[in-house]
Amino acid sequence: GESVGLHLPTLSVQEGDNSIINCAYSNSASDYFIWYKQESGKGPQFIIDIRSNMDKRQGQRVTVLLNKTVKHLSLQIAATQPGDSAVYFCAENLIQGAQKLVFGQGTRLTINP
Amino acid sequence: DTGVSQNPRHKITKRGQNVTFRCDPISEHNRLYWYRQTLGQGPEFLTYFQNEAQLEKSRLLSDRFSAERPKGSFSTLEIQRTEQGDSAMYLCASSLGLTVEAFFGQGTRLTVV
């Protein structure tokens, strides 16, 4: 079936270091991908998105890379801060023009002081 | 607060009872989505509306679940004859037109005892 998964369930990095969170997706027809951040007790918060016709997109301290050949998505967070500690989900969009998102299980990122 | 608002934040109910949740999307957002999230998992798509029309329903949405958006603004999600397996966080999100960036609410946490 269709699924989006993550390689690691947890990731710990030192404050100030860069972090990379990986995601594998299985639906080659997906045209849009999003990374969300979810803090405890809160709803997912949009971080950055990328369309299937791109392979890289940069935001503020974040970069998303898309490798369609191997169906791999990654989120790079530069100069991590304590506030970056959260669960990060990748999601793929299955309906063009709408947002029927399929989420992965998430990676818990912990920033160590 | 101009974000997506969900009420109640928490609901504890006895098995077999009916429950109803409400979602108020961001003003002017014509698309509204419901997702369900269980502990340690990513959100799962349930259904979405464009204005008052319900355009897509997941297989997860059994006949005990019904969602409405009568005037194209707020939406309600009702679960009849609740079961323990319905215990989860129910998330609402909204987006504007073809913009796929959806904004999530804080969710309603349902516990069925």
Considering only CB atoms, A103 lies closest to which of B40, B42, B107, namely B42
Q: What's the average model confidence in pLDDT over A80-101?
A: 85
- Peptide bond between residue B70 and the one before it cis (omega within 30 degrees of 0): no
- A5-59, pLDDT tens digit by residue? 544 589 999 999 999 999 998 788 888 899 999 998 899 999 999 999 999 999 9
Please give the structure tokens belonging to residue B49.
């509306």
On the question of pLDDT at B98 being above 80, the answer is: no
Considering only CB atoms, B56 lies closest to which of A100, A103, A105, namely A100
Give the pLDDT confidence score for residue A101 in this predicted structure: 85
> Are the Cβ atoms of A106 and B98 closer than 8 angstroms?
no
- B2-55, pLDDT tens digit by residue? 799 999 999 999 999 999 999 999 998 999 999 999 988 899 999 999 999 998
Give the pLDDT confidence score for residue A6 in this predicted structure: 45
Q: What is the torsional sign of CA A11, B103, B34, B46? A: negative
Q: What's the average model confidence in pLDDT over B77-97?
A: 94
CA distance A29 to A22: 19
How far off is chain A from B18, nearest CA to CA, in Å? Answer: 24
Give the pLDDT confidence score for residue A104 in this predicted structure: 85
- Going by pLDDT thresholds of 50, 70 and 90, the confidence category of residue B1 is low
Q: Would an 8 Å CB–CB cutoff place B5 in contact with chain A?
A: no
CA distance B1 to A96: 30
SS (H, E, C) chain A: CCCEEECCCEEEEECCCCEEEEEEECCCCCCEEEEEEECCCCCCEEEEEEECCCCEEECCCEEEEEECCCCEEEEEECCCCHHHCEEEEEEEECCCCCCCEEECCCEEEEEEC
Average model confidence (pLDDT) across chain B:
92
On the question of pLDDT at A1 being above 60, the answer is: no
